[in-house]
Amino acid sequence: MKVTVVGAGNVGATVANVIALKGFASELVLLDIKEGVSEGKAMDMMQTSHMMNFDTTIVGCTNDYSKTADSSVVVITSGIPRKPGMTREQLIGTNAGIVKSVVDQVLQYSPNAIFVIISNPMDTMTYLALKASGVPKNRIIGMGGMLDSSRFRYYLSQALGCTPTDVDGMVIGGHGDKTMIPLARFATYKGIPVSQLLDKETIDKVVADTMVGGATLTGLLGTSAWYAPGAAGATVVEAIVTDAKKLIPCCAYLEGEYGETDVCVGVPVVLGKNGIEKIVDVKLNEEEQKLFDASVAAVRTMNAALADVLK
Ligand SMILES: NC(=O)C1=CN([C@@H]2O[C@H](COP(=O)(O)OP(=O)(O)OC[C@H]3O[C@@H](n4cnc5c(N)ncnc54)[C@H](O)[C@@H]3O)[C@@H](O)[C@H]2O)C=CC1
Ligand SMILES: O=C([O-])CC(=O)C(=O)O
């Protein structure tokens, strides 16, 4: 299957590299507007193929959408990242125009593509991609929850003194410093509820650290993170391309689920060859539902800023 990644910066190049290493795509196209960068990164990755044992053909191109024709999945990472002290929401002014123009151009050559939106503010960019394109809702997926859940598992493992692979946990809601909802009530260590192993104060700190996980890395790196975001993007693509029916929290368009309509926000979904094949409506308790409603309200406020782009 052919996969395209638009934006060959930190996140896009990492998504591409992890997809190649995983070996599930036959062809991978990397596209950027910066002359030569995609071509150079594609060539550099291809020169690792015999060492890393993958057979994916990676092609780089400078803004040539004909090379992306007939892609099954298109990942959008184009746009600016935040700098220390900024919120993701502050990127909307620049990124909305970029994301809309990329979606339009992709559709000219891949009318049946499934989109995975990564550019920030991701929930609003996902809503924009859906509204601007008219593509059915199952084919527009925002990536945030996979990454946030992975960070949640990491912080839980640090608190438990174990490996993150022994921990399960999910983050829903918006992909923002204040809108994320790590579902501590459902988090487990090898099936044991973490509430039996960690005190409330420790769990509260894990939740707070998870919510600002991206901001913490931005403070350390001077730009936002890419290894975990890249791996998370590739994991979402893998579930679609391999028709894996995996349950992964993703940003999805809601039409009544969780009591919300006309908004894209993070919820657990089943991913397969049709993109979002099912939204799993988890029974939230009163406190979690309140957090979810507040998260959706914040995302809606952000979406209102799209009025001009969507005209
Ligand atoms: N949803 C999520 O979980 C995450 C989202 N992000 C977001 O992903 C985006 C990319 O981040 P980075 O890769 O770190 O930034 P970056 O600056 O390293 O790369 C962005 C790339 O997009 C390219 N670009 C800009 N306009 C373009 C256009 N019209 N067409 C094609 N390419 C274009 C740039 O030339 C650049 O190479 C940011 O908006 C960031 O906030 C980052 C991490 C996680
Ligand atoms: O923090 C950022 O701006 C980038 C991002 O979405 C993340 O790493 O979670």
DSSP per-residue letters across 11-47: HHHHHHHHHHHHT--SEEEEEESSTTHHHHHHHHHHT
Q: Whose CA is nearest to atom 7 of ligand 2?
A: 214
- Asked whether residue 151 is marked as a ligand-binding residue, the answer is yes
Q: Can you list the positions of beta strands (E) in 20-107?
A: 27-32, 57-62, 73-76
247: left (phi over 0), alpha (psi -120 to 50) or beta: beta
pLDDT value, residue 14: 98
> Residue 281, annotated ligand binder?
no
Residue tagged active-site, from 92, 173, 175, 236: 175
Is residue 4 within 8 A of residue 108, CB to CB? The reply is no
Q: Assign 304 a pLDDT band (cuts: 50, 70, 90).
A: very high
Contact 174, 295 (CB under 8 A): yes
| Probe residue for ligand 1, chosen from 65, 224, 302 as the CB with the greatest number of ligand atoms within 8 Å | 224
pLDDT digits (tens, 9 = 90+) for 246-256: 999 999 999 99
- The pTM assigned to this predicted structure is 0.98
Cβ 141 under 6 angstroms from ligand 1:
no
Amino acid at 156: L
- Ligand 2 pocket, 151 CB below 6 A? no
pLDDT score at 293: 97
pLDDT digits (tens, 9 = 90+) for 19-77: 999 999 999 999 999 999 999 999 999 999 999 999 999 999 999 999 999 999 999 99
Q: How confident is the model at residue 181 (pLDDT cuts 50, 70, 90)?
A: very high
ipTM topping 0.90: yes
The finding on whether 149 has its CB within 6 A of some atom of ligand 2 is: no
Q: How confident is the model at residue 117 (pLDDT cuts 50, 70, 90)?
A: very high
Tell me the per-residue pLDDT of 139-151, one tens digit each, with 9 for 90 and over: 999 999 999 999 9
Q: CB of 180 closer than 6 A to ligand 1?
A: no
Residues 197-203: what's their mean pLDDT?
A: 98
pLDDT (mean) for 192-219: 98
pLDDT band for 311, please (50, 70, 90 cuts). Answer: confident
| pLDDT the model gives residue 113 | 98
- Count the Cβ atoms, other than its own, within 10 Å of residue 52: 11
What is the model's pLDDT at position 28?
98
Separation CA 43–CA 30 (nearest Å): 11
**What does the mean pLDDT of the chain come to?**
98
Does 274 belong to an annotated binding site?
no
Instruction: Strand 192-193: give its sheet, edge to edge.
Output: 167-168, 188-189, 192-193
* Pocket of ligand 1 contains residue 79 by CB under 6 Å: yes
User: Is-catalytic flag, 175?
Assistant: yes
Domains of the chain (ranges plus CATH)? 2-144 (3.40.50.720), 145-306 (3.90.110.10)
